Every structure is written in structure tokens, then in C-alpha cells.
Chain A
Amino acid sequence: MAATLSRRSTLKLGAAAAGAAALGFPNIVRAARDRVVVRQDRDIQILDPAFRIGAAEGNVISACCQRLASFKTGSLHYAPDAAETIKQVSDTLIEFTLKPGQMFSDGYGEMTAEDIKFSFERFGIVQKDGKKSSYASDWGALKEVEITGKYSGKIHLKNAAPAIWRTAICDTSGNILSKKAGEALGEKITSQLVGSGPYRIAKWEPNRQLVLAANPDYKGPKPVFREVIVRPIQESKTAEIALRAREIDFTRFEDPVAGDTIAKEAGLKVVKMPGMRYLWIGLNVEKAPLDNLKVRQAIRLGVDVDEALTAAFGGKVERANAMLQSSLLGYWKDAPVRKRDVAGAKKLLAEAGLAGGFKTRLTVLNQAAYKTMAQVVQSNLAEIGVTVEIEALDGGSYWSVGKGDVGKNLDMSLQLFSAKMDPSFTSQWFVSEQVGVWNWQRWTNPEYDKLHVLAASTNDEAERGKAMIRMQQLMDDSAAFIWLTYDSAVFGAAAWVKPAILPNGTDWQFGLFGEA
């Protein structure tokens, strides 16, 4: 009865194994890869496009809903999505026709033009509880949506608004909800998302996970993964360990240096993109002695931007010299690249009557990278006689220090703003009416304001680009901004995951995630 292994049986065994490998094993592998686990840095709170908190919600909403037009994979270019046709008829009119037969989940029926009107116009409406969408400006140019048929309608704009395509129609604010669901669910619309996109919410366990399952009723191209599991992991280091332990398949790293460890690990990969978020030091032009142009110029000359970036990000981020990043319309490629000049800075201070130096304060978010940069700035400015006190605040306090009259007491602040795929979104925060809101520099310039309106209301790209460059020149002249970096978007992923990330780095297209 002793088992013998002849040459023939070895060959048979080998062939069987090869056959199994060829037929069965790949299916097993594929079965294990029918889902992707994605980390987001905080828990989902509200699943309502108009009242979302940020990208964490936006990514889930956009996976479950359709838009009239959507961005192509990882691109600023877009194509019709729920719309069969959509076109800009004039500066203030966009016409659309919906594809028939697009069904909302949970039995809320077919998508019609009524749903488009409901989804877009609600951004401008103050809710019963007094709440107004934080994203109302995305649809700020919207006058009304006129329904012309079951599937057709016209989007009337108050004025030409070129940004509306990339910041509203194709973006998270353009997600289409079911009107019937909105009326039936009332307040529950914030937690029960009814869409018609590639995924639907299969399970939502707050603080633990949100499971997206492929929507069988979705009429567009089927998503590659049957499930997308979104897990909230706040700590970047934990996310890195979770990726190495293969408990998650995709994450963004807040610290670009973290990618170095992942890059060395087999079965994992690092995806790097130029960032679009912009980081700068803002100087309050109303607060003495920063109200003196020469003082601001001296501070700008005294700061070694490259050194600050090396200290905080290991030199892994691109230096910024103006507001707009290179992929955006209006990028100012000839923006001056200032080198640190201690003697020049001292001379400017002396001209301002402050040869003996002065004391000031730099307010930063209480995060390691920002504090590191602040320390470099503190050390740099000490050499020109300026004593900097660093004030590191948690998010809740930090984001209120520039608001209202309290903002008048702010000296310098290190700020990080997110960007969208249109330059007008970025430039809007520095207009005069934003003083005490998001314009913490309290810098005002009538020409800038006029150019912002012009750029936001013309469809002529050349004219927009020119206006944007001029606006950045005005900012540069003010010396109220010391541009630091556009940050960088570094992601870690399992080697088999092909993520779909929009150029701003924060918007992820779960429906377009694929296998590498």
C-alpha cells in the first residue's frame, strides 16, 4: 500500500496543478480582490451633498450618485454622465437632456429633470433650522433650473460662470439626489443617501466602516470592485501600519515622507502627484508694524522658504511662488523666486524705522509639519532682529482666529487651503468682502476684486488666465503673502489597486477604481 511517485504520476499531478492554477486559482485570487478597503482620515458624518463636511463625505456621495457630467478618470476633463446631452448654449444658459431609465436606489423611481432642479436649487435655500449650505457659492451663479420636459431642462445662470462646470456640475455639489426621497425622508436625507450611481450604501456603521456595494440598477459602466469599504483611520502612522499589514488597500499620507517606507515594501506601491492645496504665511496688513509695506517685504526676504520646506517635508514638496499651481488656468510661471537675503531684509527694516527689530506672533495649526516650519521662520527672522512667538492652536481655535474683529489682532498666520479644479475657487478667498471671513491678511485691492469678478464671469479662457496672473502680481506687490508650497499628494496602495484620484488629490473616484 505504500504510495509511490512515478514519473507518470508526477506529470499527472503537475498537469492537474497547472490546470487548477490556470482555471481555478485565478478565480480565487479574483474573488479575494472583488473589494477594496480604503482609508479616510475621519469618519463620515453627513451624506448630503449640500451639507457635507468635506472630501470624506464627498467621495462617498459621488460614488453613490450621478452628476449631469463627470470628470474622467483622474482628469480635469469631463464627459456627460446622467445627461445624454449637456451644452453651454450661451454665457448664462446650459441645456441638458437626461438619459431615460436611470433609476434611484431604494425604489425611488426614475431620474427626471425635477430631480435636477431639486438637487441644485437646494444649495441656495436656507433650511428650516436656519442652516445654509457651506457650498452655496458652488452654485452661486445659479438663477434657476427650468424644467422643459420629463428628461430635459435649462440651467439659467445669473451671469457667465465658467467655474460652474468644474466646481459644481461635475463636482460633489453637482450630485443628483431623488426629489421624492428628499420629500419623503425629510431630515433623514442627511444619513440616507438615495442616488443612482455605481455604488449604493450597503452598511454604515458610524465610527467603524461604511460599505459601498455595486448598484445593480446603475446604467453606466459597472465598477470593477463589488465592494468598497471605507474605514476611518485618523492617524497617518496607523494607516501606514494597516497598509503594511494589508488591512487596507489604499490611503493618502499626510506626511509625504511616509511614502518612503511603503515604497520599499513588496506588494505595495506609492502614487505621487503634485499637490493643489496651497500653504502660505499671511501677514495682517492692518496690524502695526505689519501695516508697513517695507516691514512685510523685510519679513518675506528674511524667510528661507526652501529651508522651511526641507525641515517640514524632507524636501518632498514643490515650492510655491504664487497662488495657483501649475495645472490650473492662470498659473504664473514667471513669479519671482525669492532667495533669503538677510542684509536686504535688515536694510528694509531700517528704512521702516525698525532697525532694532520688533516682536510679532505666528499662529499655526498644532500639527508637527506646521510647527516645524514655524520654528524655521522663527529662527530665520531672529537673524534680522524680529522676535517671533509661535502660537500653535488646535483646529477649533485656529479656524476662528482670523474671523470678524478678532482677526484684527492676528499678526502672521500659516494657512493651508484646499483647491478645486478651477482658479476662481482659489482666488475668491482674497477679495475685500472676505476680510474677516477667510481673508485673514485683511488685504484689499479694488483691482483684484474687479479682476476676480471678471475672471469668474467670462468664458474666454485667455482673458481669465490673464486676469489670474495679474491678480497674483497684485498679491505679490502687497508682500502680504509668503507662498510656501502646494503640498504634495502621496498615496500608498496595494500593488494591485489602480486608484482614480482627481488632480486636487482629495477627491477620489471610487466608481473608477480598478485593478492594476
Chain B
Amino acid sequence: MRHAALRYFTSRLITTALVILGAMILLFALTLLVRGDPASVLLGPQATPEVIADFQRRMGLDRPVYERLGLFLWNMVQGDLGRDVVSGRPVLDRVIEVLPYTLTLTFVSIGFAVLLGIPLGCYAATHPGSRGDQFLAIASVSVVAIPNFVIAIYLLLIFSIWLNWLPVLGTGPSGDWGDAALRLILPSLSLALSWIGYIARLMRSSLLEVLSEPYIRTSRAYGLSETKIVYKYALRNASIPTLAILGLGVGRLLGGAIFAEIIFARPGIGKLIYDAIGTRNYPVVQGSVLAVVVLFVLVNLAVDMAYGWIDPRIRAQSARAAAPA
């Protein structure tokens, strides 16, 4: 059984590596297709054709595409993401510099979504058709439908201007964790709101489905309390679709945090990518997107692994599938 689980884990790792390789090739291809020349960006309008040619030679831009792709992949595998063509700094340094801000924002947002979405979904599922359920249905759909940047602007106007409760921008002075936490509330809430609505709806429907399962009916027949049935037996199984969505959600937020980073003037990887695209700073675009891709697939790998932990049926099914015939 343990051997089968290891095989399953190994096969997932290989899939993950292939996804990353595919993403790297796609990234390389995209930089070939997009208009704009990195030599002009770096060297400026004063550069002579000779200087541009020399730059292209040193950067390998004059080599055949397959050679450039090979070099690109080899460098990436070695952890060499290249150098920022504007500042000359290693791209890895730039990514590492901003990644913690995006990760914090992403996980706090997901935390908000889980902490609020799951209880609301549970409430709606255990009170189907009630006024509370109806209100939550309308509210959930509304926050899912409203674009996040609109929510962000309104949160700013309400909490920072009218009520003057929360600060507007940035991450605050370094070392002041309290201030940093305050400055995290609005951006993470603006990212989380639509996910709260989404998770609440998802949790409601999956919990309702689980609550109609025969084993729940049997539990009720045995006289177990409703709280125990819902929170001990039903919730665990009903959480699996939510967990799957959370894996995707983290990925979406890693890339989608950009609007919160721009509106709230926060450093982050989304903003780094956005700025780099604007200046055709390809090494930064490639390195940052690759970082997002790697994080995304790793989170999904972790989520896949977590299915088995939550639901023994999946663990057993995986083991059977991985076992030799």
C-alpha cells in the first residue's frame, strides 16, 4: 500500500514537472510573438546599430530559436532566471523580493474566504429556504458578479475615506507588523469577497448533497445529534469540492492579485509582471511567471495529496490505480 502511494506521488511529481516544462516553452514562445524589442528597452533610443547588434549577440538574441530555447530551459533548470534588463539585477532577487507580499496577500485572502465562506455555506445548507439562506444566495451571487476592482475602490472609499478606519496604501514601514496587518485587510478582503460568495454557494450545494446520503440518514436514525452529523461526518466529505476549488483559487489569486497590488499600491509579483510586460523586460516576465506557475502547480499537488488525507476512499482508489495489474 505504501509502495503504491509512493508510485502515485511520483507520477504526480512527473506530471507537475511536465506542466512546468510546458509552461516554460509557452513562455518562451510568447516572448517571441509579442511586439517590442528588449534591445531598444535596455539600450535606449541613442543606441547605434552596432551597439544593438553587440547586445543581441551577448544576450544570444542572434542565435537560432531552438538554441535560445535550449539555453533558456537550461538556465531555468539551474535556477538562473537571468538579469533584469533595466536595473541589471538578478531576476531571482527581484522575484524573491516581492513574492512574500503576494503570498501573504493570497493566503490571507484564501483564509478570509475559507473562514467566512464555509460557515456561511454550512448555515445556508442547514437552513435551506430560510430568509438567511435566501439573503446569502443573493449576497453570494452579487459579490461573485461584481468585479474585484470595483469592490476594492468602494472598500477604500468606505473604510479609508468616510470611516477613516483603515489605511489606504502600501505595506507600511518595514518592521511594523501591526501596521502591515492593518494595510492587508482591505486588499485581501477585496480579493476574498468573490471567493467567499463562491465557496459559500459551493459548500451549500455539496453539503446538501452529502446530507441526503444514506449514511447520514442512518446516523440520524441512530439518534446522533444534528451538530455532530453535520460537522463531524458530513462536512468532511462536503469539503472535498471546496478543497479542489481552493487549489485553483490560490493559483488564480497568485496571478490575479495584480489589481489589488496596483490599486492598493502594494509590491507584489503581479505588479512586477505587469510593469515588466510594459517595458518588454522579458527576463523579468519569464522569471516571475515561472515562479507563479511553479507555485500554482505545487499548491495543486498539495491539494491532490490532501484529498487522500481527507477522504480514505480516494486514497484507496489511487492506490488501486497505481498498483501493478
Which residues of A does B touch, CB under 8 Å? 42-43, 45-46, 53, 126, 129-137, 187, 190-191, 205-209, 231-235, 237-238, 241-242, 244-245, 247, 393-397, 399-401, 403, 437-438
Q: Given A233-B169, A437-B45, are A207 and B87 neighbors across the interface (CB < 8 Å)? A: no
* B174 engages A205 (CB within 8 Å): yes
Docked CA distance A54–B116 (Å):
45
Docked CA distance A46–B55 (Å):
20
Q: Considering the complex, which residues of chain B in the window 270-312 have a beta carbon less than 8 Å from any beta carbon of chain A? A: 271-272, 275, 277-280
Q: Given A134-B46, A241-B156, are A235 and B40 neighbors across the interface (CB < 8 Å)? A: no
Give every chain B residue within 8 A of A400 (Cβ-Cβ). 35-37, 40, 280
Name the distance in Å between A257's Cβ and chain B's nearest Cβ.
16
The 7 closest A-B pairs by CB, nearest first: A134-B44, A207-B267, A233-B265, A396-B36, A397-B35, A396-B280, A395-B278
* A207 engages B98 (CB within 8 Å): yes
* 5 A-B interface contacts by CB (under 8 A): A53-B86, A130-B54, A207-B267, A235-B262, A401-B35
Give every chain A residue within 8 A of B264 (Cβ-Cβ). 238
* A131 engages B42 (CB within 8 Å): yes
B149-171: CB near A (< 8 Å → 1, else 0) gives 00001001100110010011111
Name the distance in Å between B180's Cβ and chain A's nearest Cβ.
11
Q: Which of B51, B268, B277 contacts A396 (CB 8 A)?
A: B277
Q: Which of A42, A241, A438 contacts B161 (CB 8 A)?
A: A241
Dominant SS at the A interface? loop
Q: Which of B41, B44, B161, B280 contacts A132 (CB 8 A)?
A: B44
B40-67: CB near A (< 8 Å → 1, else 0) gives 1111111110010011001000000000
Q: Given A134-B46, A396-B34, A438-B45, are A45 and B262 neighbors across the interface (CB < 8 Å)? A: no
Give every chain B residue within 8 A of A395 (Cβ-Cβ). 278-279
Docked CA distance A397–B174 (Å):
36
* A242 engages B280 (CB within 8 Å): no
> Is B88 engaged at the interface, CB distance under 8 Å to the other chain?
yes
Q: Given A395-B278, A403-B37, are A208 and B58 neighbors across the interface (CB < 8 Å)? A: no
Give every chain B residue within 8 A of A401 (Cβ-Cβ). 35
Q: Which of B88, B160, B272 contacts A241 (CB 8 A)?
A: B160
Give every chain A residue within 8 A of B43 (Cβ-Cβ). 130-132, 134
* B279 engages A206 (CB within 8 Å): no
Q: Considering the complex, which residues of chain B in the window 61-109 have a beta carbon less than 8 Å from any beta carbon of chain A? A: 86-88, 97-98, 101
* B37 engages A231 (CB within 8 Å): no
Give every chain B residue within 8 A of A190 (Cβ-Cβ). 87-88
Docked CA distance A191–B36 (Å):
26
> Is B263 engaged at the interface, CB distance under 8 Å to the other chain?
yes
Given contacts A45-B86, A394-B278, could you give 15 more A-B pairs where the C-beta distance is less than 8 Å? A129-B58, A133-B46, A137-B46, A190-B88, A206-B97, A208-B171, A208-B267, A238-B264, A241-B168, A242-B168, A247-B168, A396-B280, A400-B36, A400-B280, A401-B35
Q: Given A42-B275, A131-B42, A245-B164, are A231 and B55 neighbors across the interface (CB < 8 Å)? A: no
Q: Which of A130, A209, A233, A237 contacts B55 (CB 8 A)?
A: A130
Name the distance in Å between A370's Cβ and chain B's nearest Cβ.
15
Docked CA distance A43–B265 (Å):
10
Give every chain A residue within 8 A of B170 (Cβ-Cβ). 208-209, 231
* B97 engages A247 (CB within 8 Å): no
Give every chain A residue within 8 A of B58 (Cβ-Cβ). 129-130
Q: Which of A45, A207, A235 contacts B263 (CB 8 A)?
A: A235
* A187 engages B46 (CB within 8 Å): no
Give every chain B residue within 8 A of A132 (Cβ-Cβ). 43-44, 46-48, 51
Give every chain B residue within 8 A of A244 (Cβ-Cβ). 161
Docked CA distance A208–B40 (Å):
28
Docked CA distance A45–B87 (Å):
6
Question: Across the two chains, which residue of chain A brings its CB closest to B171?
Answer: A208
Docked CA distance A233–B35 (Å):
27
* B51 engages A130 (CB within 8 Å): yes
* B262 engages A234 (CB within 8 Å): yes
Name the distance in Å between B63's Cβ and chain A's nearest Cβ.
17
* A237 engages B153 (CB within 8 Å): yes
* A235 engages B265 (CB within 8 Å): yes
Give every chain A residue within 8 A of B169 (Cβ-Cβ). 231, 233, 238, 242, 247
Docked CA distance A399–B35 (Å):
10
Give every chain A residue within 8 A of B168 (Cβ-Cβ). 238, 241-242, 245, 247
Q: Given A190-B88, A233-B169, A247-B167, are A403 and B40 neighbors across the interface (CB < 8 Å)? A: yes
Name the distance in Å between A100's Cβ and chain B's nearest Cβ.
35
Docked CA distance A46–B86 (Å):
8
* A396 engages B278 (CB within 8 Å): yes
Question: Across the two chains, which residue of chain B brings its CB closest to A188?
Answer: B88
Q: Which of B55, B262, B267, B280 contacts A206 (CB 8 A)?
A: B267
Give every chain A residue within 8 A of B47 (Cβ-Cβ). 132
Question: Across the two chains, which residue of chain A brings its CB closest to B84?
Answer: A45
Give every chain A residue within 8 A of B263 (Cβ-Cβ). 235, 237-238
Docked CA distance A333–B135 (Å):
65
Name the distance in Å between B24's Cβ and chain A's nearest Cβ.
21
* B34 engages A207 (CB within 8 Å): no
Give every chain B residue within 8 A of A53 (Cβ-Cβ). 86
Question: Across the two chains, which residue of chain B brings its CB closest to A393?
Answer: B35
Docked CA distance A244–B170 (Å):
15
Give every chain B residue within 8 A of A126 (Cβ-Cβ). 51
Question: Across the two chains, which residue of chain A brings its CB closest to B259?
Answer: A235
Question: Across the two chains, which residue of chain B brings its CB closest to A206?
Answer: B97
Docked CA distance A209–B88 (Å):
20
Docked CA distance A231–B264 (Å):
12
Docked CA distance A495–B41 (Å):
39
Question: Across the two chains, which residue of chain B brings its CB closest to A126?
Answer: B51
Name the distance in Å between A176's Cβ and chain B's nearest Cβ.
22
* A207 engages B97 (CB within 8 Å): yes
Give every chain A residue within 8 A of B171 (Cβ-Cβ). 208
Give every chain B residue within 8 A of A206 (Cβ-Cβ). 97, 267
* A396 engages B167 (CB within 8 Å): no
* B45 engages A245 (CB within 8 Å): no
Give every chain A residue within 8 A of B153 (Cβ-Cβ). 237
Name the distance in Å between B275's Cβ and chain A's nearest Cβ.
7
Give every chain B residue within 8 A of A136 (Cβ-Cβ). 46
Question: Across the two chains, which residue of chain B brings its CB closest to A403?
Answer: B40
Question: Across the two chains, which residue of chain A brings its CB closest to B51?
Answer: A130
Docked CA distance A302–B160 (Å):
47
Q: Considering the complex, which residues of chain B in the window 155-197 have a beta carbon less than 8 Å from any beta carbon of chain A? A: 156-157, 160-161, 164, 167-171, 174
Docked CA distance A293–B156 (Å):
52
Give every chain A residue within 8 A of B278 (Cβ-Cβ). 394-396
Give every chain B residue within 8 A of A129 (Cβ-Cβ). 58, 88
* B265 engages A232 (CB within 8 Å): yes
